[in-house]
């Protein structure tokens, strides 16, 4: 039987986006339409508890949508951290507090359907190629900027993993030797400079240093500050915010240039919470990219239309990426 025969018999799969704070899942058809989408907080009390809640969520969706598991082709799971998709093991995930968890077997046992797992950012890249505007693209770099920063590198239509399964983990490349400490133990990693929490922290430090408002006033005002607010403050003319945004855009533009020159992909696609939170993020980035491309002929293609884009799939890319894993 050909793969297309199986596909035509069972066009529906379940995509599950497993995050550190919430799990989102839905039924996904061949065109990438979502059905019965549900989310719930991630139970990270134990790996068992996390697996239980993932399985419960899947079964609940099947039940509510009145669809039998026999009608489902399989389940795809996108998981943060290091993943061994061949053995179906979650090797290490700081967010989920996982170490060597047999995700595939355990989910199959609980739900009774074939299961495929992959790192969430790598899955998202495949989702972009399968369901997004990058259909048919053979070489692509997907760059996620949210609480964490990571890239997925697709070459010749396949995820490039590397020798240690860490190809794409550029969030932990040191880009500023005087930069702040990173969760990984390093100093001045890209993630410690341009992730959502890093943008807010940088702005707060600059604001406190400028002493135009008292520290107490400032803390009272911005205890729930987000990257979006920093970008909006920059647009409104706040100096500390402007400096923050300029630095973030510069570090990111440099990283993108490096990736573009190292792999020379057909396109670079951005996604992640920080990117979706405000169009100002991409606008500011492209301003710096334009400068880079005008300065050096080697980087001229960086500012060509559609070379660097934001995924049109938005937040659904997590579920769609997971769905794209199912053969």
- What is the smallest separation between the CB atom of 60 and Zn ion, expressed in angstroms? 37
- What is the smallest separation between the CB atom of 250 and Zn ion, expressed in angstroms? 19
Give the relative orientation of helices 317-324 and 120-131 as an angle to the nearest 10 degrees: 90
Ramachandran region, residue 140 (left: φ > 0; alpha: ψ -120 to 50; beta: rest):
beta
Q: Give counts: helices (H), strands (E), the chain.
A: 12, 13
Ramachandran region, residue 234 (left: φ > 0; alpha: ψ -120 to 50; beta: rest):
alpha
Q: Which stretch binds Zn ion (CB under 5 A): 89-97, 135-143, 178-186, 262-270?
A: 178-186
Which residue's CB is nearer to Zn ion, number 114 or number 186? 186
For Zn ion, the binding residue among 6, 49, 184, 298 (CB under 5 A) is: 184
Closest CA to 224 of 202, 197, 185, 206: 197
- What is the smallest separation between the CB atom of 177 and Zn ion, expressed in angstroms? 13
Which residue's CB is nearer to Zn ion, number 170 or number 189? 189
User: Which SS3 state, helix, strand or coil, does residue 13 take?
Assistant: strand
- What is the smallest separation between the CB atom of 169 and Zn ion, expressed in angstroms? 9
Question: Could you tell me if 38 and 25 are in contact, meaning their C-beta atoms sit under 8 angstroms apart?
Answer: yes
Count of residues of this chain found to bind Zn ion when the rule CB under 5 A is applied = 5
Q: Would you tell me how many other CB atoms lie within 10 Å of the CB of residue 4?
A: 8
For Zn ion, the binding residue among 186, 188, 222, 280 (CB under 5 A) is: 186
Which residue's CB is nearer to Zn ion, number 11 or number 186? 186
Which residue's CB is nearer to Zn ion, number 95 or number 266? 95
For Zn ion, the binding residue among 101, 182, 319, 320 (CB under 5 A) is: 182
For Zn ion, the binding residue among 73, 122, 130, 172 (CB under 5 A) is: 172
For Zn ion, the binding residue among 189, 241, 322, 325 (CB under 5 A) is: 189
Q: 145 forms bridges with which residues in the sheet?
A: 149
Q: Which stretch binds Zn ion (CB under 5 A): 53-61, 157-165, 184-192, 281-289?
A: 184-192
Place of tokens 């997004």: 132
Which residue's CB is nearer to Zn ion, number 174 or number 286? 174
Which residue's CB is nearer to Zn ion, number 172 or number 206? 172
Question: Could you tell me if 288 and 250 are in contact, meaning their C-beta atoms sit under 8 angstroms apart?
Answer: yes
Q: Which stretch binds Zn ion (CB under 5 A): 86-94, 114-122, 165-173, 295-303?
A: 165-173
- The beta-strand segments (E) located in the chain are 12-18, 22-28, 34-41, 72-79, 82-84, 89-93, 98-101, 115-119, 140-145, 149-155, 158-159, 267-271, 308-310
- What is the smallest separation between the CB atom of 279 and Zn ion, expressed in angstroms? 28
The binding site for Zn ion (CB under 5 A) comprises: 172, 182, 184, 186, 189
């Amino acid at each position: 039987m050909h793969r297309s025969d199986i596909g035509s018999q069972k066009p529906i799969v379940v995509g599950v986006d497993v995050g550190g704070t919430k799990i989102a899942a839905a039924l996904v058809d061949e065109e990438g339409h979502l059905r019965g989408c549900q989310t719930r907080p991630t139970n990270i009390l134990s790996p068992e508890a996390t697996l239980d809640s993932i399985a419960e969520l899947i079964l609940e969706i099947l039940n509510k949508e009145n669809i039998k598991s026999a009608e489902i082709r399989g389940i795809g799971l996108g998981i943060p951290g290091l993943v061994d998709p061949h053995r179906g093991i979650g090797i290490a995930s700081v967010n989920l507090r996982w170490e060597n968890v047999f995700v595939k077997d355990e989910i199959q046992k609980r739900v009774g359907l074939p299961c495929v797992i992959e790192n969430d950012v790598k899955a998202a890249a495949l989702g972009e190629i399968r369901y997004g505007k990058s259909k048919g693209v053979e070489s692509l770099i997907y760059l996620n900027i949210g609480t964490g920063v990571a890239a997925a590198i697709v070459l010749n239509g396949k995820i490039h993993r590397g020798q240690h399964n860490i190809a794409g983990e550029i969030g932990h490349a040191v880009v500023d030797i005087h930069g702040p400490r990173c969760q990984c133990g390093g100093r001045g990693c890209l993630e410690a400079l341009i992730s959502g929490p890093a943008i807010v922290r940088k702005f707060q430090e600059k604001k406190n240093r400028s002493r135009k408002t008292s520290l107490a006033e400032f803390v009272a005002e911005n205890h729930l500050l987000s990257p979006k607010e920093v970008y909006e403050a920059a647009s409104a003319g706040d100096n500390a915010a402007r400096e923050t945004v300029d630095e973030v855009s510069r570090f990111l533009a440099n990283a993108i240039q490096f990736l573009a020159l190292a792999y020379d992909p057909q396109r670079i696609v951005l996604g992640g919470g920080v990117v979706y939170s405000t169009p100002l993020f991409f606008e500011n980035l492209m301003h710096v990219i334009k400068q880079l491309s005008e300065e050096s002929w080697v980087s001229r293609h960086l500012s060509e239309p559609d070379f660097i884009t934001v995924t049109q799939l938005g937040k659904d890319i997590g579920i769609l990426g997971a769905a794209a894993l199912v053969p």
